[in-house]
Every structure is written in C-alpha cells, then in structure tokens.
Amino acid sequence: MRRPGCAADTRLDISLSLLIPALILIHLYVAPYTKVEESFNIQAIHDILAYGIPAPSENATAFFKAHYDHVEFPGSVPRTFVGAVVVSGLARPFVGLLSSPDQLQLLGRCRMPCQKRMHPNTPAVRGILGLLNAFALLYFRGAVDTAYGKTAGRWYLILQACQFHVMFYASRTLPNMLAFPLTTIALRNLILVKSLPNRSAKTTARRRLALYLLTVSGIVFRSELAILLATETAYQLLIQGASLTKEIIPAGLTGAILGLLTTVLIDTFFWQQAPLWPELYGFYYNTVLGKSAEWGTSPAHYYFLNAIPRLLLNPLTWLLCMPLALQTSATKGISQAILAPIFVFVGLYSALPHKEWRFIIYIIPSLTAVSSAGAAWIWNRRAKNIVYRFLSLALVGSVAASFAASGGLLYISSLNYPGGEALNRLNDVARLEPGTMSVHLGNLACQTGVTRFLEMPAGSAKLRYDKTEDEQLLLDPMFWQRFDYVLAEDPGRIIGAWEIVDTVEGYAGVGLDGCDGDVFTYGKTGRLWRRIDSQLRTVKGLVCGKITKGRWPRIRMEPKIYVLKKEK
C-alpha cells in the first residue's frame, strides 16, 4: 500500500514536469511570430512542407529556384537544412489535421478566419521544436536526481521554469535551439558519468554517447560547440580517466563521420553546391575572416557578468545557491566536476570579440542543476533554525519574483513583432477586395515577423509578395507603380500617392507616465492583458497615491509599420 506522502510526491513531480512544456507553449502562444535570426530555418521548413523535395527525375536546381526562399535570399553564409528537414518531417503528419480554425486556435494565436490567414503549420512546427526541447530539459532532470537527490531535481524544474530566455526561445528556429536538445542530452550523460565514476559498461556508453552528440551538434549546427566538446573531453581524459582509444576516439570518429555525411549530403543537395559543409563555411567567414565583429563587439567579461546572470534570471541562483553548492561537502565534488569544463568553455569563447547570449545557452541546464543543489540544501534545513527559514523564504520569494519578471519580459517581447502583425492585418484587408493584388514588404516588416507561413495559401492567393531590397530599384518611381499595398516603416520614402490604411505599433521602451488610463499598453495580446489590467487598477491607485505621487511605469508604444494602399 502506497504511503500518502509518496502519492503527494508523485503528484508534485508530475505537476512540475508538466510546467516546462506548458510554459514553452504559453510563450509560443503569446509571441507566435519570428524574427530575422530565425527566418532561414522557418522559411526552409515552410518550403519543404509546402512544396516538398524534388524527385530524382526532376531538375532540382530549377525546382529550388522556382519555389524555395533560400535561392532568392541566401544570406551572407549558407546555413544547414538538417534541422529544417527533421522538424518538417516531424510536422508532416499534422499537415492534414490542423486545418480547422478551432484546432489552430489551440496551437497558436489565430483569429477567424484562421485557415485563410495563417498556414496551419506555423504553430505546429514551432510547437514540435519546443516540445523536443522540453523533453530534453525533463530528461536532464534525471541526472540532477542522481547527482543531488530528488529535492534538488524538483528545484531544478522550478528554477528552469522561471527563466525567461530558455522558455521563450525553446520553440524558436535558431540554429542554437535546434542543437539544444542534443547538447542537453549530452550534458545529462556527462553529469551521470561524473556522479557515478565507475568503469562499468553503462558509464562507458554514457560517455561515448555524450561526446558523440556534442560532435554531431558542433559539425551540423554550431561550430562553437567544438570548444565545449574539447573542454569536456579534456576533463574526461585528465580527471575521469577515460580511455583515449576505447572511448574518446571511437565516439569522436563516429560523431564526425555521421555529422559530416548528414550535413554534406543534405546541404549539397539543397544548395546545389558540391561539396558543401555550411558550419565550416560559417566558421571561416565569422571567425577566421572576423566578419562576426561587424555585428558588434563586447568586452571579455560579457558572458560571465552579463549573459549568464540574465539567462539564469533569478539572482539567488548565482549569488547564493551556486556558491553554496560549491562549498558544501556533500555537493562540492560533483558541482566542481560539472562547472569546471563549462567555465573553461565560456572563458575560451570569451576571446572572440562578437558575443551573444545564445552562443552559450547550452550550459544553462548544467548551471541550473548546480544551483538546484544549493536550493535543496537550504530547503531541506528550513526547520532547523531561523537562518535557513529566512533563506527558504527568500528563495521562494525570488522564484515568485522571477516568474513575474519572466511574464513581464514575455509581454514586452510579444510587442516586438510588428511585421507579423502588419502582414496579418494586410491579409484581412486584402481578402475583402476583388482581384489579385501585389504588395511590397519593407525591410523592418521582414525582420520582425514576416514569413512565408503568414502569406495566404497558394490555392487562394490574392496577394503577390515582393521583398526587393535593391536601393537603386527602391528609388525608381516606376518600381512602386506595380504595387497595390506596401508595408513600410517610413511612408515618406515610398514614391507616389499612398493612403495609410493601418498603423502597427511596437515596443518603444518603459517610462513613467500619468496615472490616468489603463495599467498596460495593449498590443496583440490585448484581451488577456485587459483582464489582468482590471485586477491591478486598485493596486495602481494605491501606488500612485502614496508611493509614486501620480506617476506610473508604463510600456510605451510607437508606430513601427504603416500599411499603405495606393490611391486611385
């Protein structure tokens, strides 16, 4: 007979496990559009699902030129199609199922008539990627249970769930997030190896699988993972006593051969260039030629003092929990084993001038695992004395504050995609007019949400979409004569007589305004936030009257994209 406490623990574990995928899907629901960094993979997924892959008997070059986005917009360096092929393959079974408005509304933010304004697989393909990353994060929890105990495993789920960046970007088609499931599973296996340092066959298999997955991820998706692979391999050789000939070399060779065969065969076919290894091309362009520095540079301490605290979000994770895990005798050894190769990786990678938080997002589950050990140490001793009781309350309060901060960041982020909202509004307007029309999509619109998924389905197309960026053509008055509509960030640059039929606003910062009006500035998530607003007005009145003296923090909006219609 099961004890009541065991049943309660089971229910708690299930609830916490469901929290991760639920939050990822909520983030997808609130912010369904994509930005330019995600555009290659989301466009590639669309093209594979919409047009398929040419048969051996077809002219592949002509097929791609006629249908695929990457031919017209190849970017500065070629990107791999491997992730797009995998995600579109997983999404293929849903193509015939997600066609009704009700089903689509369950998977993405979509107003009626949904089947005409949004490709049915927009939320599905991102939802699939998000759930893959959710599974990897939940699978990682098993290693935390083994290394630190079940209480730490529960705190790992809580601390992971209240982080904004991992939850928000888990469903986004960045190359980093396509590699994220593989790296998370790899680091899970390495934690198990470090937690159970024996020479069993299971330990050897885990080590080989981890190094194999890191090798494949680095070759196919992100070349910076080669540094993480090197630091983890060095730790296994020098500290863990791994066998170079029986474990390290076989895992590396297997991963290298499979990764190279996969990316070279697939990408040579899709790009029609022989032979092509996109990540090697990107590494040479960005690192050897130093082109990445053109996107901006950051100081050497950026990852340690800026990116990692932002990614973890909860300040107690790195100010209290992680140091405690490194000092407590019961958790010190395994915590050092987890963090040492990770921090060496970050230190080495800091030598490159161009830095972005997404380049190191792979280490966040491991950092969260070590933090959860410190949190569990505090929580298990909360009844011992007033110090632990106070620290436990501080920990709970920091988690609540982190969830609130993450919700605020989600709301602000949802206001940063005016391009996607503008195209959906334009589709609504154009649907009411007769005939086929032509629309020019401006640069800002294409960077902030416009994808082929949002274009009207080919079978019922009423709009022809143009993304011309050539400055000489944009200065030609005759160029604009062929368009009926334009999505423009600056109407003054559009030559001819145009009428503004709609204006889409976007995020413009936070400031202190008067206390009149609503608590929130409404964007496309207005109905949800209006309900929250009604509950907060009493609080707002008290704050304005007694604390801020008539001032209230408000999210400011400003016009970002204008929907222009040619005057006739």
User: What residues form DSSP beta bridges with 466?
Assistant: 440
Report the C-alpha gap between 339 and 366 in whole angstroms: 8
Confidence at residue 103, expressed as pLDDT on a 0 to 100 scale? 34
Confidence at residue 543, expressed as pLDDT on a 0 to 100 scale? 66
Question: Is the pLDDT reported for residue 515 higher than 70?
Answer: no
Residues 6+ apart with CB under 8 A from 194: 147, 240, 334, 337, 338
Q: How many CB atoms lie within 10 A of CB 12?
A: 13
Q: Which of 118-127, 360-369, 556-565 has the least mean pLDDT?
A: 118-127
Q: Where is mean pLDDT largest: 40-54, 431-445, 520-534?
A: 40-54
The stretch 539-566 carries a mean pLDDT of 77
Q: Which of 30-34, 109-113, 314-318, 356-360 has the least mean pLDDT?
A: 109-113
The stretch 299-327 carries a mean pLDDT of 95
Buried-exposed string 21-42: b where 16+ CB fall within 10 A, e elsewhere: bebbbebbbbbbbbbebbbbbb
The stretch 269-289 carries a mean pLDDT of 90
Chain-centroid distance, C-alpha 363: 15
The stretch 389-418 carries a mean pLDDT of 95
Report the C-alpha gap between 193 and 205 in whole angstroms: 10
Confidence at residue 110, expressed as pLDDT on a 0 to 100 scale? 37
Question: Is the pLDDT reported for residue 113 higher than 60?
Answer: no
Inter-residue contact 80 to 221 (CB < 8 Å): yes
Confidence at residue 117, expressed as pLDDT on a 0 to 100 scale? 37
Question: Is the pLDDT reported for residue 120 higher than 70?
Answer: no
Q: Which helix (H) or strand (E) holds 552?
A: strand 551-566
Reduce the DSSP state of residue 111 to 3 states and report it.
coil
The stretch 549-558 carries a mean pLDDT of 76
The radius of gyration of the chain's CA atoms, rounded to the nearest angstrom, is: 26
Tell me the percentage of the chain whose pLDDT exceeds 90.
63
Q: What is the DSSP string of 181-221?
A: HHHHHHHHHHHHHHHS----HHHHHHHHHHHHHHHHHHHHT
Report the C-alpha gap between 163 and 167 in whole angstroms: 7
Confidence at residue 104, expressed as pLDDT on a 0 to 100 scale? 31
Read off φ and ψ for residue 192, nearest 5 degrees: -65, -40
Confidence at residue 437, expressed as pLDDT on a 0 to 100 scale? 85
Confidence at residue 94, expressed as pLDDT on a 0 to 100 scale? 72
- Helices 364-380 and 150-161: angle between axes, nearest 10 degrees: 120
The stretch 91-112 carries a mean pLDDT of 47
pLDDT tens profile 234-256: 999 999 988 899 899 999 999 99
Inter-residue contact 378 to 395 (CB < 8 Å): yes
Question: Is the pLDDT reported for residue 36 higher than 50?
Answer: yes
Q: What is the DSSP string of 456-485?
A: PPGGG--EEEE----HHHHT-HHHHTT-SE
Question: Is the pLDDT reported for residue 111 higher than 50?
Answer: no
Confidence of residue 118 (pLDDT cuts 50, 70, 90): very low
The stretch 371-381 carries a mean pLDDT of 96
Question: Is the pLDDT reported for residue 523 higher than 90?
Answer: no
State the chain's maximal CA–CA distance in angstroms. 82
Question: Is the pLDDT reported for residue 27 higher than 70?
Answer: yes
Label the pairing between strands 437-441 and 485-488.
parallel
Residues 6+ apart with CB under 8 A from 231: 341, 342, 344, 345, 348
Q: Which amino acid is at 76?
A: S
pLDDT tens profile 183-232: 999 999 999 999 987 778 888 999 999 999 999 999 999 999 999 999 99
Question: Is the pLDDT reported for residue 1 higher than 70?
Answer: no
Question: Is the pLDDT reported for residue 72 higher than 60?
Answer: yes
In terms of Cβ atoms closer than 10 Å to its own Cβ (0-12, 13-18, 19+), residue 147 is buried
Chain-centroid distance, C-alpha 13: 25
Tell me the percentage of the chain whose pLDDT exceeds 70.
86
Return the half-sphere exposure (C-beta side, CA atoms, 13 A cut-off) of residue 233. Answer: 21
Give Cα separations from 274 to 53, 77, 222, 255, 266 (angstroms): 18, 15, 21, 22, 11
Q: Pull the structure tokens for residue 302.
A: 């950026």
pLDDT tens profile 474-484: 999 999 999 99
pLDDT tens profile 461-499: 567 889 988 888 999 999 999 999 999 999 999 999 999
Reduce the DSSP state of residue 487 to 3 states and report it.
strand
Inter-residue contact 35 to 449 (CB < 8 Å): yes
Report the C-alpha gap between 399 and 317 in whole angstroms: 10
Preceding omega of 113 cis (within 30 degrees of 0): yes
The stretch 104-130 carries a mean pLDDT of 51
Q: Which helix (H) or strand (E) holds 551?
A: strand 551-566
Q: How many CB atoms lie within 10 A of CB 284?
A: 13
User: What residues form DSSP beta bridges with 438?
Assistant: 464
Inter-residue contact 351 to 165 (CB < 8 Å): no
Give Cα separations from 357 to 95, 140, 225, 350, 510 (angstroms): 34, 21, 14, 11, 23
Confidence of residue 455 (pLDDT cuts 50, 70, 90): confident
Question: Is the pLDDT reported for residue 261 higher than 90?
Answer: yes
Confidence of residue 527 (pLDDT cuts 50, 70, 90): low
Q: Which amino acid is at 362?
A: Y
Question: Is the pLDDT reported for residue 551 higher than 50?
Answer: yes
Question: Is the pLDDT reported for residue 122 higher than 80?
Answer: no
Give Cα separations from 85 to 52, 67, 123 (angstroms): 10, 16, 17
The stretch 453-458 carries a mean pLDDT of 70
Inter-residue contact 173 to 34 (CB < 8 Å): yes
What average pLDDT does the structure give for the chain?
87
Reduce the DSSP state of residue 156 to 3 states and report it.
helix
pLDDT tens profile 344-371: 999 999 999 999 999 999 999 999 999 9
The stretch 18-40 carries a mean pLDDT of 92
Chain-centroid distance, C-alpha 312: 15
